[in-house]
Each structure stands twice: as C-alpha cells, then as structure tokens.
Chain A
Amino acid sequence: MTTPVLFDVPGPKARRRIRIGTAVGVVVVVAIAALVLVRLAGNGQLEPQRWAVLFDPASQVPQALGQALLRTLQVAIVGMVLATVLGLLLAVGRLSEHRWVRVVVTTLIEFFRAVPLLVLIFALYFLLPKFGIRLSAFWALVGGLVLYNAAVLAEIFRAGILSVDRGQREAAYGLGMRKTQVMTLVLLPQAVRRMLPVLIAQLVVLLKDTSLGFIISFPELLRGARGLVEFFTLQFGNQYTFQLYVAAAVIYIAINLVLSWLARYVERRTRGNEKTAATTPTELPADVQMGGGGGAVPAAR
C-alpha cells in the first residue's frame, strides 16, 4: 500500500488507538464466528461424520456433486461459446453500414439487457411450449444465458472493435480487402485479443448465473445439492443438509475465484504488450458483474 492519503501516518497515540481498534475488531469478529460455531455445534452440525459424507465415495455424494458440477460447467461452456458467437454477430451488426440492420440489432441488444435474466429463462421455459416449441430445462437455461450475455458481450466487442487503431482499417482497405475481410481478418482478431480479460470476467458472471437453473429445476450444482438433501432427509432426517449446501457454495466460490484470478493474470500478461493491451477499461462495470440481467438501461450512461 502507498502512503495513505485519508489519514496521517500514525504517531504513537494513533498507533495505540489503532492497536485498540484492532483488538476490538478482532474480538468482535471472533465473537461472531464463535457464536455461529457454537450454534452449529449445539445443533451437532460440526460432527466429523456429518462432513465425512462429502468425501466418502460409498455415500455417492462426491459422485453426485461431481455430476452436478459437470452439468453446471456444461451449461457455462455451451452458453459462453454460443454467447460469444452471437455477441460477435451482434457487435458487427451494430457497426453495420446499413441503417436498418443497426436499428434492429440495437433494439435487440437493449431489449435483452433490459429484461431480468430470470424472466428471459421463464419465457423460454413456460411460454414457448404454448407455441409448440418445447425446450428442456437445459436449453431454456442456456438460451436465456446466451441471449442476455450475447447482448452484453456485443457491447464489449463493439468497444473493442472501435478501439483498434483507425490506421489498421485504412491500411486493410488500402490493400484492397473487402468489408468482410477487414472485419474478420484485421479488426476482430485484435479486438478479441484485447477483450480477453473482460471475456473471462464475463464468464465468471455467466457461471454465477447458471445457478438460476435451480429455479427451473435444472439439476445443476445447487439443485443437485438440494436433491441430495431431499434424498438424505428421507432416509436419515436432515442431518446432512447444512454440509451439502456449504459444499455447493464452496465449489461455486472456488471456481469463480480461480476464474477471477485468471482474468487478472491474463490482463497483467497483456498489459505490457501495446499491441494487445486494452485501451478501454478492462474491468466490467459493477452492474454487469452483478449478473442476473444487470447492466442495462442505456439512459443511465
């Protein structure tokens, strides 16, 4: 940390106050943690055998959680790939020279960003069957995620394409390339490389949003844990409930922390290189990071 601006470098008195504050702070934190632990222990939640079930292959729990994790990742990967492709198309469409393409694409982007993600998923899952198109929970979830994330990614890609130096495009045209060639051979590759950290950050958001599958009963990580809980509760009462929920949450947080770290690593790697370094901000806006269909309403820009 550099010299703090908000407070003086503490002198002896301030240091004593900070030490007291530190002690009080630690005591409060420890007290809260202790209270939670005591409550948990009082209910027998901390007994080793209750936690052992998470790691005991004979209980089928690790396998079931692994399968659920696999399905979560499957949704995330399929969703991310499709969203990237659709996002690229939308970004190019938004930069089109034809006015009507621009208008249509912009409307689509704004619409999908303005609607809560869960409403999109509900629409695919509950409304489409009324029109004879029956989607499985998997595709309803993926579909909703793709539509929303493609709209967000389109804006990111557009910023990336616009950030490529004008000379690049002019030189490409000067070499006699066609519009499509300029876009696909010159502009997009550079834009995508620059936007890589943001792309990974968006993957974190998408991965978080796969948990919405829980609500439409897609057996992803959370629903998987819930299913196990219901199964065990029938047999042994709810003695494993808490442990399974904690396991699901820890897996989510761990994956997301790793991905966040990866995004930062990639950004550090690319920053030194002026060809690939992003000129636009590489942090996703906070409202996009919130997931769940955040980051819309253009009027607030």
Chain B
Amino acid sequence: MDFVRENADLFLDAFLTTLGLSLLAGLLALVLGTLLAAMRVSPIPPLRGLATFYVETFRNTPLTVVFFFIIFGLPQIDFVIGFFPGAVLSVGLYTAAFVCEAVRSGVNAVSGGQAEAARALGLTFGQSLREVVLPQAFRTVVPPLGNVLIAMVKNTSIAAGFSVSDLSSLLPRLVNADAGDLTLVLVGVVVGYMVITLPSALAVNRIERRVAILR
C-alpha cells in the first residue's frame, strides 16, 4: 500500500496530462477536420486538392512519424516547440484527417434535396454549408466521430515515447517496482484510460439518441 500512497500524485498528474492532451488535441482535430471537410466539398479546386492531399498523407503516415516531425523536424526550420504542445499538435493534426473523412461522409449522407433547396432559396455555398448541410451532417456522424475521438484518446499514449509524462509513460518510469506493484500500475493505467473512454462512449450514445434524424 505504501507504493500506492507514494505514487498517487504521480498517477494523478499523469492522468491529468492524458486528459488535457486529449481535450486540446480533440478540439484542434474537430476544428481543423471540419475545415478540411468544408474544403473537400468546396467549389474551388486547389482547396479540394489541398485537403485531399492532407488527408491522404496523414492517413498513410504513422502517428509516431508525425510526432517525429513535429518534435525533431520543426526545429530544423527554426521552430522549436515544447513536448506537450508538440504532442497536442501531432495528435490533433493526425486526428483531423480522420475527422475530415467522418464529417465528409456525413455531408454525403445529407440528402441532395436539402442542398438543392438551400440553393433554390439563393443561399451561397458557405451559407448552405453552415446553415443547412453541416448541422445535419454532424447529427448523422455522431457515432463515427465519437469513435474517432475515443480512438484518439488511446492514441495520445504515443506521447509517452516523446517525453510527455502521460498515463502510458508510468510503466517505463516505474519499471523498477516489483512484479506486484508494476501489475498494479498496469491496472491503474488501463483503468485511467477507461475512465476517459467509457463515459465518452456513453455520452456519444446519449447524444446520438438525442440528435439522430429519422429518415
């Protein structure tokens, strides 16, 4: 029990780091991903091309490589970034590509009549996207979007490899503990992640039921 008492603060710190990292990166991913999705359906070809290029590149790059470029690569163009902000940026940029795909599939799922009606009323592209299409798209993609964000929470664990003291980093950091204590750490880490993911999953379920559109 001494072991638990001694390391309670360490554990709490690690948990809060993972939580903060998830929240900030999730926010970045949602904003950037929605922007990318809007670009991918926009009438301007270079914007479409740029967004497609972004999504294809990030989807085919391991998150570890993204981390690598943000943490070790950016300093090469004189842009030094701390480990935690770097982790937020890496996870956020990576997840944005998947958020974009989820939102885009939602945009495609909105029935064509909606967009046609919006156009018939004289709404511009921006207006019809903002006022008509995206609100409906978001409602239909609540489950996949929620799953992407939950997967992102688990992906934040990679920050442990880049000097961020998050939940996963507890295992290597406390590696000198004996078998029983280290097992306890593992259980704590797993529970720590579940404390974030399970309520999120429940929330996603609830939100989905509340906002779902019956077609």
A122-B151 Cα distance, complex, nearest whole Å: 18
Write the chain B residue with the least CB distance to A257. B60
Could you tell me which residues of chain B, from 60 to 97, have a CB within 8 Å of some CB in chain A?
60-65, 68-69, 72-73, 76-78, 94-95
Known interface pairs A114-B197, A130-B178, A287-B147; A293-B60 also in contact (CB < 8 Å):
no
Residues in B neighbouring A211, C-beta threshold 8 A: 62-65
Residue B179, interface by CB 8 Å: yes
Complex-state Cα separation, A241 to B75, whole angstroms: 11
Answer whether residue B202 sits at the interface, using C-beta atoms and an 8 A cutoff: yes
A86 to B78, CA, bound (A): 47
Question: Which of A40, A222, A286, A293 contacts B101 (CB under 8 A)?
Answer: A286
Partner of B150, one of A8, A45, A296: A296
Interchain CA distance A208-B94 in the complex, whole Å: 13
A58 CB within 8 Å of chain B? no
| In the bound complex, CA of A6 to CA of B43 (Å) | 9
> Which of A21-29, A165-173, A186-194, A271-279 touches B?
A21-29
With A5-B112, A119-B186, A123-B171 known as contacts, the answer to whether A296 contacts B151 (CB < 8 A) is yes
Chain A residues closer than 8 Å to B44, beta-carbon distance = 18, 21-22, 25
Q: B137 CB to closest chain A CB, in angstroms?
A: 11
Q: Which of B46, B116, B161, B193 contacts A5 (CB 8 A)?
A: B116
Q: Are B172 and A287 in contact (CB under 8 A)?
A: no
Contact check, A252 vs B148: say whether CB atoms are below 8 A apart: no
CB contact list, B126-156 vs A, under 8 A: 128-129, 133, 143-144, 146-148, 150-152, 154-155
Contact with B along A277-301 (1 / 0, CB 8 A): 0000000011111111111110111
| A6 and B202 contact, CB distance less than 8 A | no
- Given A45, A115, A252, A297, which contacts B190 in the complex, CB threshold below 8 Å? A115
Kindly state whether residue B24 has any CB partner on chain A within 8 Å. no
B148 near A300 with CB under 8 A, answer no
Residues of chain A within 8 A (CB-CB) of B101 are 286
Sample 16 A-B pairs with CB under 8 A, ordered by A number.
Answer: A6-B43, A21-B43, A115-B190, A204-B60, A208-B60, A208-B63, A211-B64, A256-B60, A257-B60, A286-B101, A287-B150, A291-B155, A296-B150, A300-B147, A300-B201, A300-B205
Residues of chain A at the chain B interface (Cβ within 8 Å)? 4-8, 10, 14, 18, 21-22, 25-26, 29, 36, 39-40, 43, 45, 114-119, 122-123, 126-127, 130-131, 204, 208-212, 214-215, 222, 241-242, 245, 248-249, 252-253, 256-257, 260, 285-297, 299-301
